[in-house]
């Protein structure tokens, strides 16, 4: 039975962990791979190397968002006096441009890892068979230390007809041979919001069906409400409906839902996208055999140093993080790297102010508490909302829909939360993240530096100044 100094499970952030500082260790890298829908994988056949973000997540979806933004630019230019021809979409060209680049990176990453003299790559599903003993590729391996970075997978629908090949997930829909004419999206979260933007911009008639009363319901209520309003102007949005089943209708598929009164609705489409979220892969690894503790929903429990309850076993990324964000996984990778290399000088992960962004149209970005969360914690707080159209650049854009909302402690002058909906939201949020992370007060931030005029960042400056502090 081969024994290693270190076993890393997962080829996304887990692969990134293994830099030159680990060259003197005997390492095993174990990876089942990602099922990206390009072929039918057998029970033991590995998927593509490189993890979720590279193959089916952040990178390819944002490479789709950018041309989608370009495709709909003509729809918004007319009111500013610019007549643009209707966008034409060459789907195979867009798809192939993206995945020719991504597949090359994935294949090159695997080739490079297999050439590392101190690293043995195992391609297969990892399951613990006992304490610090892993079953993989038909055999068993042991190690002194483990890092579990096995990621997550799309949440599976449990209704009749969910196994229809026309029901896709975000993992499988990105490489379609051709665009459908119609698409039903199940779910109202960020995956739904981003891919509804992409496919509708490319000319697909999209319907979003959500069981909740608003899209992006985990955002601040004002942002969620505005996003729902704006997205409803582009695609069909049906809220407060429960998915019941799928029915086959020749070459199309029918999505059947009910509302709170039990009334059934039917939505006929070419394809369906299951965008109901992702679940951690820890439940596939027989963690109990290794004595590793998990939460109710399958997340591996870790402490501030990313250690599990079993000495020598760390976990990071989607398999142990409720955030399911690549920048969180990157941060945790740096923490685990340090702690593996410096076991007597551990550093803690900092999850105080984790930001996120939704790359839809409009963009949404957030950090810290929503107004409801501040209420629920019985905090004393004040808010300020600044419209894009109230500053020079937003006025030039004739913007009437987007805003920056801030939440602050009136006594300390510190930000509690920041929420932006509109163009460049994912960029505009960054100085607010920095202020919260380093304890910079609202007034010091607003008046202690220059804000370029007439840049759109003035919407952040003016929101800071509008907060009614003590």
Q: What's the angle, vertex CA 186, arms to CA 181 and CA 187, rounded to 5?
A: 130
> Is 434 contained in some domain?
yes
Strand arrangement, sheet containing 242-249: 242-249, 252-258, 264-269
254 and 111 share a domain?
no
Cβ neighbour number for residue 337 with a 10 Å cutoff:
19
Residues taking part in catalysis: 453
202 and 311 share a domain?
no
- In our burial notation (b when 16+ CB lie closer than 10 A, e otherwise), range 294-326 reads beeebbbebeeebbbebebbbbbbbbbbebbbb
Looking at the DSSP assignment, which residues form a beta bridge with residue 382? 408
Structure tokens at 220: 């601040």
> Is 44 contained in some domain?
yes
In the prediction, which pLDDT does 79 show? 86
In the prediction, which pLDDT does 43 show? 63
27 and 125 share a domain?
yes
Q: Checking DSSP bridges between strand 242-249 and strand 252-258, what pairing results, if any?
A: antiparallel
262 and 285 share a domain?
no
In the prediction, which pLDDT does 44 show? 65
Nearest to 9 by CA among 308, 345, 347: 308
> Is 186 contained in some domain?
yes
In the prediction, which pLDDT does 242 show? 98
> Is 159 contained in some domain?
no
Please state the domain count of the chain: 3
Domain residue limits at 408: 362-466
117 and 29 share a domain?
yes
Mean pLDDT by 10 residues, the chain (470 residues): 97 96 98 82 79 95 96 87 86 97 96 96 96 94 98 96 97 96 98 98 97 98 98 98 96 96 97 97 96 93 98 98 97 98 98 98 98 98 98 96 98 98 98 97 97 98 96
259 and 284 share a domain?
no
In the prediction, which pLDDT does 354 show? 98
In the prediction, which pLDDT does 417 show? 98
In the prediction, which pLDDT does 35 show? 83
The residue among 276, 297, 323 that closes a domain is: 276
In the prediction, which pLDDT does 85 show? 82
């Amino acid at each position: 039975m081969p024994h290693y100094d270190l076993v890393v499970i997962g080829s996304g952030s887990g692969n990134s962990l293994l830099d030159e500082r680990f060259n003197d260790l005997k390492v095993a890298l174990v990876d089942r791979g990602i099922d990206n829908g390009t072929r039918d994988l057998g029970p033991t056949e590995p998927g593509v190397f490189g993890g979720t973000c590279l193959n089916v997540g952040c990178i390819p979806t944002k490479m789709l968002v950018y041309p989608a933004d370009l495709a709909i630019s003509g729809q918004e230019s007319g009111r500013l006096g610019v007549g643009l021809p209707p966008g034409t979409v060459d789907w195979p060209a867009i798809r192939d441009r993206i995945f020719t680049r991504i597949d090359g990176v994935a294949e090159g990453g695997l080739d490079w890892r297999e050439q590392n003299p101190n690293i043995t790559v195992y391609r297969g599903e990892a399951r613990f068979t006992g304490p610090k003993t892993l079953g993989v590729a038909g055999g068993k391996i042991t190690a002194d230390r483990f890092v579990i970075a096995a990621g997550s997978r799309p949440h599976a629908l449990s209704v009749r007809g969910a196994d229809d090949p026309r029901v896709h997930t975000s993992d499988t829909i990105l490489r379609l041979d051709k665009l459908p004419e119609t698409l039903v999206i199940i779910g109202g979260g960020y995956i739904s919001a981003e891919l509804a933007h992409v496919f509708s911009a490319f000319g697909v008639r999209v319907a979003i069906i959500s069981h909740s009363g608003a899209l992006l319901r985990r955002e601040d209520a004002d942002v969620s409400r505005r996003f729902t309003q704006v997205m409803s102007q582009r695609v069909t949005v049906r809220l407060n409906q429960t998915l019941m089943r799928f029915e086959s209708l020749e070459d199309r598929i029918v999505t059947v839902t009910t509302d709170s009164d039990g009334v059934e609705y039917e939505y006929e489409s070419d394809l369906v996208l299951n965008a109901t979220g992702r679940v951690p892969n820890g439940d596939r690894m027989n963690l109990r055999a290794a004595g590793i503790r998990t939460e109710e929903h399958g997340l591996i429990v870790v402490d501030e140093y990313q250690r599990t309850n079993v000495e020598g076993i760390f976990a990071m990324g989607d398999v142990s993080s409720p955030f399911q964000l690549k920048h969180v996984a990157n941060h945790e990778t740096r923490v685990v790297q340090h702690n593996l290399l410096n076991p007597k000088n551990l550093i803690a992960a900092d999850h105080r102010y984790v930001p996120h962004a939704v790359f839809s149209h409009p963009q949404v970005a957030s950090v810290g508490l929503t107004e409801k969360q501040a209420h629920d914690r019985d905090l004393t707080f004040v808010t300020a909302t600044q419209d894009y159209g109230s500053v020079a650049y937003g006025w030039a854009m004739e913007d009437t829909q987007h805003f920056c909302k801030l939440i602050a402690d009136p006594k300390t002058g510190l930000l509690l939360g920041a929420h932006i909906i509109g163009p460049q939201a994912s960029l505009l949020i960054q100085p607010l993240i920095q202020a919260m992370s380093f304890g910079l007060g609202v007034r010091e931030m607003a008046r202690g530096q220059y804000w370029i005029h007439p840049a759109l960042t003035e919407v952040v400056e003016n929101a800071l100044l509008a907060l009614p502090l003590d």
